[in-house]
Amino acid sequence: FAPAGYNARWFPAAKKGYAGVALYSRSAPDRYAEGAPFAHCADEGRVLRADFGGLSFVSLYVPSGSSSPERLAIKLKYMELFLGHAKALLAEKRPIALCGDLNVAPTALDLARPKQNEKNSGFLPEERAWFAALEKQGWIDVVRAQHPGKPGLYSWWSNRGQARAKDIGWRLDHVLM
């Protein structure tokens, strides 16, 4: 699927209907790069990059860890490996936007009920520490840079318990530059 007037590139998971990322742009990029430079989750369609002259965009979908302890272990390993890739991206010394579903609410402002979710994937201390490590590398959380201290900037709501209507959400999608 590509809207009229847009270039579209999809990087799907090997398993049909599972994960995958995409990028849409009005201008055609100079190049696309699929995947990350490590094999962990390589068949899950997690990273897609497009370069436009001196500017790059990376669409990222970090695995969820909420379905089982095994998936949480996979997520944490992915996050650990991705830190090295994120550092290498910054070392390119070019404007890069890292965008997507990072499956992490980095601060208590980024979810409606932080106390109730301290032991849930998406808000675990090690997941938040990973996000802080990205920032320590030099990545800037664009939403927090533009709206410091503002709660309620959610990007995901559960399908249960009328979470959307009650605005009981999480900010799991991010733009880092």
Residues belonging to the active site: 101
Question: Residue 130 is which amino acid?
Answer: W
Helix 69-91 × helix 125-137 angle, to 10°? 10
Say how far apart CA 88 and CA 110 lie, in whole Å: 27
Q: For residue 160, what is the DSSP state?
A: S
The encoded tokens of residue 60 equal 């990222």
Residues 85 and 101 sit within 8 Å (Cβ to Cβ) = no
